[in-house]
Amino acid sequence: YWVGSHFSKWLEDSKPGAIACLVRENSNNIPGFLSWAFKDCLGKDYQSLFSIFQKEVVQNIEKEVKEFRQSALAKSFSQIKLRKTDHPIFSSGVQLVKNKIYVNQINDRREDYLKVIDLNKKQKENIRLPDVIESILPNTHDDILILRSSREYRSQQSLHWLLFSTTTNKVIERIKWPKAKYLFRFKDGSILGILFNQNTWEIWERRDGKDELIFDLPKMATLYNPEVVERDGKRFVSFRYFDFKATPNHEYLRVDLDSGKDEVLFQSDDSLEVIGSCGTHRLLKTSENIYAVNIRNGYVSNLKNELKGIAHLKGNSDYTMVLFEKDPERIYSKKINCEKWLDSNSGIELKKDEVST
């Protein structure tokens, strides 16, 4: 549908009135005669026209990519090329531990791997696991990743969580909590599970084998992109929140896990995406702007317009890794503290009563 809509716009731009003509000439025909309408209205069959459209689209994309790679922003980063045989699934979660990126990947044979990319040496490694990786979540400490996995795609009973050591590249522990959609572990060994139960999102803590409900959302409200911060004795979980009954209905919330108190850090009327994190900062994008939100103090800052093209950002105290919308074939990285890099690219700092867009 997405391609078809762009193709329809291209036809109309090529010959104004083309869509109206196609509707008129094909409205009384049985299915299968649309090609005749294309010839009558545009002089060529739809296969030929689509081939021309496809060629132009590819040429325009290649031109945009080339121009972007020559920009000052792109040149300020180191670049790692992704091979055409690489199929990293960044939507399943990409994590940065020290100087290495960890992302789920499926190869041409549909085999599931954990792909490791060394930003310093620019080397890649594929780690084969006996489980299907569904998502990759960060741990709050140590060199550990949390993997949601299953041995079979459709078996709810086989869903479980793996603690994966980035030091040994091995699974060191399995956690059974199949109902948890998200899971995080704290320094003291307690576990935070986020569950969807009877149309309600709930946040539970498991400590010494006992589960306790900490916080729940209103029924039918939706939670996205949760992340946990544990620093200086404080523990927070933050997430994107959508409630179709509320106005504005897009919010970014922070919940104090010790007091159970929640606080709205950002609101938007039209749209809201979480496109990255580094330290205590979260990157939020609306239809018009991009913002950095500090989870610890609630401060929100505008970022420079040139950063609107960020598709995803991940960073730590040593490295900043960025994926740009205009160049999906490369990973961009810079050896710099991510929070410092964000601060250097921030504009006006907004007060809490000014963060609604």
Query: Are the C-beta atoms of 346 and 292 separated by less than 8 Å?
Result: yes
> What per-residue confidence (pLDDT) applies to 157?
55
Q: pTM of the predicted model, to two decimals? A: 0.85
Residue 71 has pLDDT above 80, yes or no: yes
**Cα 275 from chain centroid (whole Å):** 5
pLDDT in tens, 222-276: 999 999 999 888 899 999 999 988 888 999 999 999 998 999 999 998 899 999 9
* Confidence band, pLDDT 50/70/90 cuts, at residue 308: very high
Query: What does the pLDDT average to over 109-115?
Result: 82
CA distance 249 to 269: 6
- Phi and psi of 224, rounded to 5°? -135, 155
CB of 302 closer than 8 Å to CB of 350: yes
Per-residue pLDDT tens for 19-67? 999 888 887 666 656 778 899 899 999 899 999 999 999 999 999 999 9
Residue 207: per-residue pLDDT: 94
Q: Residue 77: phi, psi to the nearest 5?
A: -115, 155
290 in Cβ contact with 273 (< 8 Å): no
Of the candidates 158, 157, 189, 187, the one whose C-alpha atom is nearest the C-alpha of residue 173 is 189
Q: What is the mean pLDDT of the chain?
A: 89
Tell me the C-alpha distance between 289 and 312, whole Å: 15
Closest to 74 in 3D by CA, of 334, 338, 312, 264: 334
CA-CA-CA-CA torsion sign (127, 132, 134, 135):
negative
Beta-strand runs (E) in 132-233: 132-138, 144-150, 160-165, 170-175, 180-185, 191-197, 200-207, 210-216, 222-231
Q: What is the pLDDT of residue 83?
A: 80
Question: How far is residue 154 CA from its own chain's centroid?
Answer: 23
Please give the pLDDT value at position 347. Answer: 74
Evaluate if residue 150 carries a pLDDT over 80: no
Which tens digit of pLDDT belongs to each residue from 75-94? Answer: 999 999 988 777 788 888 89
